Structure 1
């Protein structure tokens, strides 16, 4: 507990440094009481005390109520505490609240509100601090008396200050005359239930104020029975719930805005409950998946092709159970059509921090972009004329094959078409291109499941054969290549003779793709020099001769 002398000094310092301070006297029960004259404050420094019981909570916005409670608890332990609050009449204006135990000097607690200093964490808005800021707009509770017919027979002062009506204005009116038309049916049903059960009932309605506005209130009707029906009294306790309902209405507006935004997006949205049940799906999702009005998750995803469904289900399960986000692509077959569409799915796990646990899926139709992506990939990987791998791709794949730990040898066949230049120059480039295409078709027809074919450029091709048992087998493969090429082929412009020189090399030790291809290239030139149409295997003797 802070010593009494220190609390005296704190109060004196506060009033000296903050002449604008507004101060309220507080009883030991927390309710505001008249200011003792011993405090020595001017009238304009004293916060007015309402006729009904009130606390410091009545002065601040509902969002800051917990700050007041916390400060009161701390002050009860230590004798003094400070917090930052906003008043109900000026919710954008921050003030310091100092609670200090002055019972030893004045018999009361004091609660002082002051402007924030320049060193405080929350900036002040510059509004001058006056007592008018602290007068509540209206009481939060009020009492209305009625007879069993629902006619108003009396109101208290708090009802007048809450609703603006004087007793002379509304006594004798039926209470439903002051209820919003949309709420009358609910109010009447609640009233009839109270009469039949003769016990208290609650209902939330909009009550008309004297200025024509509507105030959300919760009415609790308490039935007081009597032998004579004319003496039956119903006491209605009104509680101002406008802040709560404003928050609900703001939430409803945000939800409506979210749904409008969700429906306007070009992306399909799917929200799942924590148990995997379907909570929300926008119209765009139905259009993308071809299922416009699904009620279950299985129904909504029924158009996903069978081979992609297990992966999608696993990703959804991981999001729901483990909180794992993921992205994947799936193919969709639209109902009643053989057309396949490609979709990107982005799954985001939702927790209590987002309002409700579950998962959110964003689904986009990427069919065209996927097609373009595959086209770009194909252009970067394959030779556009022959369909074989291009030089960069075949060399990269060969490097990868050489790095793999697999049994046997890796053999390559370097092929150079014979007499290609006369065809290309004499019959035209179209004929040359056609000849290259026919040669590529013949060469790829020799490949097994693991073999590769690439065009190195011009009339040169490279064939890769992993897992060859021996050099003899490699030579035999080269012989089949040479024999396949040694034939007459029909072109659009006429028949031409096709042939090729073939060099074969085997990887018998760790070696790079460039080194192995260079060996096969050297063997190919030896084959071309011999003019026998037979393959040549690279050997050390050939290297030494070179």
Structure 2
């Protein structure tokens, strides 16, 4: 800025030797040449004394004049305690470059961003000691724009301190380019008007004209609602009439038209004034700039609107619940999936969940709302009049705490009906024979091994069934007839078994029957004999008549039996049955 810093730090009052090779005396002489005298500042926390240089009256004047030459420098007049005060007439500065003075003579620090206040305090302290202090800071209302603030003690000439504000630009612009935009923070934040009982303005202070941009002549004689946004007029009239009827102060928030065509959010406090005749009463209206607050509300509203648009576009139903189970928010897809309208409680919202899943869902929901871990579960949703189809849904319950804004829970609901259907189809294909509907070989063996591994005092019997002359049916009547004969045989076998017996097809014309929980071996022999009778018959097929008969081997478990071993025993007994005339089931005997 054309004024050397002039600060030389040394230990305990001894100037430290400069590392640049310039002696302290030369620097001292240089400062004297600019009219700056050295003095010792109070010791710092580390006990080190800072040698500062007091700027002479001439140096302060040159600094002030140099900064004033910059066309965009604004000037603030300050009292010794830092309050903003009216500039004296002797301070020959254009009025548009003077920062307006608030009615309450607010401190300069109130203009600054909170993060820069401490640095500004240090600069002010330096000004009081040396005559000049400089700091780079941001304004509270313009956090992205940087200013260089230079405070100068000019009491010897003007009777006040002056603070010069030079715009350094925003973070996104070249600092060398100076902005023509006036400082938003210099606009008054409060003002006052006087109005008649009918709302016509009869007077307005200077702060009102600077806040709104209108001249007093333009404001006086106009009805205040003339400047209000059309959407706010009715509300302002209601507040005014309420004040008149109750004789109590009223408040209202409206958008006020400014002279530049913009809208400014203000809060108007109408203060009732008693008068013998209401038509002679003059009401006082205190006006406060609430644009920052309303801008914050608008930002929240926009974010909420964006959140709703996002949640409505997701392929997931979302349900936010309060800690008491009340519905805070439900997106549109959720109501479609559950077949219910937006309700007040979780129970109403989830009313179409099937009864068999209701208890598990209620328990999980109460656990999560009580601070328990997140939960996942599947439920069946009963058909609604709109869908007419039962659905299967996966629900993820996520606990919410104060960190998310309010305790409660978030339920994410996904329709997995098609996924469950595909999963079931894969399970069926992996478990059952596609032709006869019997268990396939792998599943039959797994079931048998499971039964044998269960610790109980019962026996497990197996029946090995091999259809006779099946190849000749395929050769004479065709494979379709052979398939038809297999389906008939499977159906007849199932018809004579117990409810918990298992039928498996383990080969082309071979069936394995698993009979668990037997008291004695004779029981499985009886079952095998019933099977033999239903498989001894002529069967009318689409392609002709075929003879159905089977060889049947029977085995019963003993201690230490394995699935493969038991099947091998039944298979051996089946071959013995083939040799019998007439054929009959044969029980394996060691």
Q: Which of 523, 528, 542 is 1:473 aligned to? A: 523
Q: Which of 235, 249, 258 is 1:209 aligned to? A: 258
Give, in whole Å, the separation in 2 of the partners of 1:529 and 1:73. Answer: 113
| Larger Rg computed on CA atoms | 2
The aligned residue for residue 253 of structure 1 is 302
Confirm or deny: 8 A CA contact 1:271 1:278 kept in the other structure: yes
Confirm or deny: 8 A CA contact 1:88 1:134 kept in the other structure: no
The aligned residue for residue 517 of structure 1 is 567
The aligned residue for residue 45 of structure 2 is 3
Give, in whole Å, the separation in 2 of the partners of 1:143 and 1:29. Answer: 27
Q: Which of 313, 334, 340 is 2:362 aligned to? A: 313
TM-score, scaled relative to structure 2? 0.70
Q: Residues 203 and 465 of structure 1: is their aligned pair in 2 closer, same or farther, counting only changes over 3 Å?
A: same
Q: Which of 308, 313, 321 is 1:272 aligned to? A: 321
Gaps of 5+ in 2: 1-42, 55-66, 68-73, 88-92, 124-134, 150-160
The aligned residue for residue 527 of structure 1 is 577
CA-CA distance at 1:56 after TM superposition? 5.8
Segment drifting more, 203-212 vs 461-470 = 461-470
Q: Cα deviation per residue 1:172-194 (whole Å; 9 max; x = unaligned)?
A: 22211111111111112212222
CA-CA distance at 1:205 after TM superposition? 0.8
Matches within 5 A, 1:137-536: 138-227=187-276, 232-264=281-313, 267-292=316-341, 297-322=346-371, 324-335=374-385, 339-530=389-580, 533-536=583-586
Give, in whole Å, the separation in 1 of the partners of 2:53 and 2:380. Answer: 71
Segment drifting more, 450-459 vs 337-346 = 337-346
Q: Cα deviation per residue 1:376-428 (whole Å; 9 max; x = unaligned)?
A: 22112111100011112222222322222233122222222121111122111
Gaps of 5+ in 1: 13-18, 36-42, 76-82, 98-107, 116-122, 541-546
Segment drifting more, 402-411 vs 219-228 = 219-228
CA-CA distance at 1:370 after TM superposition? 3.2
Q: Cα deviation per residue 1:97-139 (whole Å; 9 max; x = unaligned)?
A: 9xxxxxxxxxx9x999999xxxxxxx96465287989942523
Segment drifting more, 370-379 vs 251-260 = 251-260
Determine helix, strand or coil for the equivalent of 1:504.
Answer: strand
Segment drifting more, 416-425 vs 475-484 = 475-484
Confirm or deny: 8 A CA contact 1:93 1:127 kept in the other structure: no
Q: Cα deviation per residue 1:295-341 (whole Å; 9 max; x = unaligned)?
A: 66555444443333333333333343345433312131334997534
Confirm or deny: 8 A CA contact 1:59 1:134 kept in the other structure: no
Q: Cα deviation per residue 1:170-226 (whole Å; 9 max; x = unaligned)?
A: 122221111111111111221222233333221111111111111111112223434
Give, in whole Å, the separation in 1 of the partners of 2:585 and 2:98. Answer: 111
Segment drifting more, 181-190 vs 491-500 = 491-500
Q: Which of 103, 114, 128 is 2:175 aligned to? A: 128
Confirm or deny: 8 A CA contact 1:308 1:331 kept in the other structure: no
Give, in whole Å, the separation in 2 of the partners of 1:251 and 1:143. Answer: 30
The aligned residue for residue 29 of structure 2 is none
Give, in whole Å, the separation in 1 of the partners of 2:345 and 2:287. Answer: 44
Confirm or deny: 8 A CA contact 1:303 1:335 kept in the other structure: no
Q: Residues 465 and 211 of structure 1: is their aligned pair in 2 closer, same or farther, counting only changes over 3 Å?
A: same
Q: Residues 338 and 226 of structure 1: is their aligned pair in 2 closer, same or farther, counting only changes over 3 Å?
A: closer
Q: Cα deviation per residue 1:446-471 (whole Å; 9 max; x = unaligned)?
A: 33333222111211111112222233
Q: Cα deviation per residue 1:143-194 (whole Å; 9 max; x = unaligned)?
A: 2233333222333333233211222321222211111111111112212222
Segment drifting more, 210-219 vs 133-142 = 133-142
Confirm or deny: 8 A CA contact 2:502 2:515 kept in the other structure: yes
Give, in whole Å, the separation in 1 of the partners of 2:454 and 2:79. Answer: 86
Determine helix, strand or coil for the equivalent of 1:457.
Answer: coil
- Alignment RMSD, CA only? 4.6
Give, in whole Å, the separation in 1 of the partners of 2:205 and 2:85. Answer: 21
CA-CA distance at 1:510 after TM superposition? 4.0
Confirm or deny: 8 A CA contact 2:82 2:107 kept in the other structure: yes
Q: Cα deviation per residue 1:27-64 (whole Å; 9 max; x = unaligned)?
A: 897756899xxxxxxx9xxx98652334466445xxx6
Confirm or deny: 8 A CA contact 2:86 2:101 kept in the other structure: no
Give, in whole Å, the separation in 1 of the partners of 2:146 and 2:429. Answer: 64
Confirm or deny: 8 A CA contact 1:86 1:95 kept in the other structure: yes
Confirm or deny: 8 A CA contact 1:93 1:125 kept in the other structure: no
Q: Cα deviation per residue 1:484-511 (whole Å; 9 max; x = unaligned)?
A: 3233333223332222222333332345
Q: Residues 421 and 179 of structure 1: is their aligned pair in 2 closer, same or farther, counting only changes over 3 Å?
A: same
Determine helix, strand or coil for the equivalent of 2:283.
Answer: strand
CA-CA distance at 1:290 after TM superposition? 4.0
